[in-house]
Amino acid sequence: MRIIPTILCGGSGTRLWPTSRTYAPKQLQSLVGEKSLLANTVLRLKSQANCTAPVLICGQSYAAEIEAQMKAEGAPLSAIIAEPMGRDTAAAAAIAALWAKKVQTENPDEDHVVLLLPADHHISDIEGFHKALDAAGQAALAGYISTIGITPNAPETGFGYIKRAETPLKNLSSYTVAKFVEKPDEATAKSYLESGDYLWNSGMFAFAPDTFIAELSKHDIEIAKQSIAAFEQAELSVDLNGLSHLSFTPQAFSAIPKNSIDFAVMEHTDKASVLPADFGWNDVGSWSAAHEIADSDSNGNVLEGDVIAIDTENSLIRAHDKLIAAVGLNDMIIVDTADAMLICPKDKVQKVKAVHKHLKDQGHAVADHHGPGSTAYIAQQKSRARDWLFNAALPFWIENGLDRKNGGAYEAVDFSGSALTEMPKRLRVQARQTYVFSHAALLGYAPAEDALKVPLDFMLRHGQRPEGGFGHILSPEGVLLDDQADAYDHAFVLMSLAWAYKATGDKSVLQTAESVMDFVFAELRHPVRGFREAIPESDALRRANPHMHLLEAAMAWMSLHSHSRMADLANEIVGLFNTHFCIGGLLREYFDEELGPLPKSYPAIDLAVEPGHLIEWTYLLRLYEKLTGDSTDATATMEAFADRYGINPLTGLVVDHVHPNGQMLDAPTSRLWPQTEYIRLKLQAGTSHDLDLALHMFERIADDYMTFDDRMPGYWRDQLSADGQNLLDRAPASSFYHILGCLEPLL
């Protein structure tokens, strides 16, 4: 017999607030000892001879965090099954059975049994637990759906109960289930305890996969049918360490009706059995339970962190980042976290759930997330970013943002997610999307390896001018509508080719890049200094911005390929920043023909400072310092100015423009890209304070720019008004370049 432990990682554990939050549930937290409840659950199965490495069924948003946590704890897994939304335990059991059937097909010489168990239990008698698993497995092989019932030692009103038959099943330690009963009142619980016929319902089940699917099909055919359909459409991948990942399409999975395994199957089937067991079980459902199972001192206290307890007994006190001094307390719970503290008598711990509900109803962030400074908050935000990038944004833009008929990347999508197919295709968007998918491929996202070729091939095939360089705008079919050779566009062509060459190793990409460098140096160089805006030239003012992106492209070639000619270009542009672009310690946007400052008679918008560019230049200049050792003093001034004057105090977002004296322009707007540059710069600093600022901003843009009707579908809003209203009717593809730039260091 091979037991496949399948651990259910759902639930929010609201009675264990403030350590457990909606999006940082108790099973991922350390409530007893140093390891999380989930890690302890996985590790206690490791020494069970009949058990395979566990399978975890969890919410999609937790999958990456769970994988990282288990790897750090040395807790082996065989698969992570990620649900896009919760459909309760009947669906989870069906998916577990279907997975086990797949395993059994691959290993036909062994009998496989699913062990379904929650992630958040504490068990003190590991040997007794292992024996119970074997006994429940034997009942499963005999054709029963076996649940494990815990012999009660108190009239507990917080658990469901199972009444067993009087005599055990033949040749088994299990009994037929007489009935399931819901949580009783205290008098009823006492009668159950005295009868000796009732057991606590632990929520642990063992069954053969075919048995469960047959019984589910008999008693709830819709859950069975839709679970099978979702499983058949699911995507399976196996990483380099042999860990399987199963993910579902949201449409198929959402079609599964929600119901518990008890209501859908166990209360109706004639194959239900129960195994009485007693192995020091506790479901850690409240702070009083956590106090009960933890090691206490001679006064009955459980003290964690910097705690002084005088004349205090039978209390649990957890300090976070400050001293807690307790005097004269009895039977109390005190739990401190980075952003919230609970103080509660032990006999009132069941009311903590009401605190969480009140906070949730008020829209208070501490109901859902851990605050800055906590490892849980950091892990949760990183998990949210990883999940959005790899499970929403990249799949969306590969599926919906690429023109498979004509080639290239679409310019934008509308807010229903449909591509705007009639819009002309700017060359810079083809280059930026080439960069995005090349970078994603190097991050290990396999579908991007083919996706990067779509905008790259379109750009190279249709975008090049007969006289050299690249044009500016193409028709959807690839006809060059505007053959102006724009310096900004060429900066992105060079950057995209650096990343595409790194991702593909294609020597023809390198040859093309070298010819683009020749064109930029020979044709786009300005006769006075720096580089032209475009060929043919217009009457427009000269800008620092194309030079900034040439610096970015040059450093991509430096860091990815140690390219000496591009290193010279980077040095030249940093010199221009120091001598011309930075005036009075601040970057300016527009200049005259010789890169001189504009007179004050020009319109305010031409004289304004863009905080996003202050931030972006600061990041690039510090990256240049890291690559070469040459520092620029103005970066500290620019970052300080952006922090002080560049953020709208009403929205917390970086604004698009301010006056050089720091005064906000009338009706300030906030594009998405400056927020991403802010995140990238703060992550570059590497301090805990800057990490907090970066994560706060990520949370803000996730909520304000990326969330639609409580969904994060993979696209975004691009510009918000001063009061947070959306100003653009589409999601431009070009923003993905900025977004990936800030998420990559976060991940």
Q: Which two tokens stand for residue 602?
A: 């020009």
Within 16-73, where are the H helices? Answer: 37-45, 63-73
Helix H or strand E encompassing 451: helix 448-451
Is residue 38's pLDDT more than 90? no
pLDDT tens for each residue of 283-322: 888 899 889 888 899 999 999 989 999 999 999 999 987 8
Q: Which two tokens stand for residue 618?
A: 């600061």
* Dihedral class, residue 242 (left if φ above 0, else alpha if ψ from -120 to 50, else beta): left
Within 75-115, where are the H helices? Answer: 88-106
pLDDT for residue 66? 82
pLDDT tens for each residue of 690-709: 888 999 899 899 999 999 88
Report yes or no: 140 and 173 within 8 Å, Cβ to Cβ.
no
For residues 179 and 191, what is the distance between their CA atoms, to the nearest angstrom?
Answer: 16
Confidence label for 270 from pLDDT (cuts 50, 70 and 90): very high
Residues facing 733 on adjacent strands: none
pLDDT for residue 76? 87
Burial environment of residue 438 by CB neighbours within 10 A (0 to 12, 13 to 18, 19 or more): buried
Residues ≥6 apart with Cβ < 8 Å to 518: none
Instruction: Please give the mean pLDDT across all residues of the chain.
Output: 92
The pTM of the whole model exceeds 0.75: no
Domains assigned to the chain: 2-285 (3.90.550.10), 291-367 (no CATH), 375-746 (1.50.10.10)
Report yes or no: 125 and 280 within 8 Å, Cβ to Cβ.
yes
**Residues 140-168 as b or e (16 or more Cβ within 10 Å = b):** bbbebbbbbbbebeebbeebebbbbeeeb
pLDDT for residue 376? 63
- Higher per-residue pLDDT: 533 or 31: 533
pLDDT tens for each residue of 654-687: 999 999 999 998 889 999 999 999 999 999 998 8
Q: Which of 382, 372, 373 is nearest to 65 (CA)?
A: 382
**Residues 558-568 as b or e (16 or more Cβ within 10 Å = b):** bebeebeebbe
Q: Quick one: what percent of the chain has pLDDT higher than 70?
A: 99
Residues facing 328 on adjacent strands: none
Mean pLDDT across the stretch 493-514? 97
Within 124-259, where are the H helices? Answer: 126-141, 186-195, 209-219, 221-233, 250-254
pLDDT tens for each residue of 67-126: 878 887 788 899 999 998 889 999 999 999 999 999 988 988 889 999 999 988 889 899
Q: What is the DSSP letter of 527?
A: S
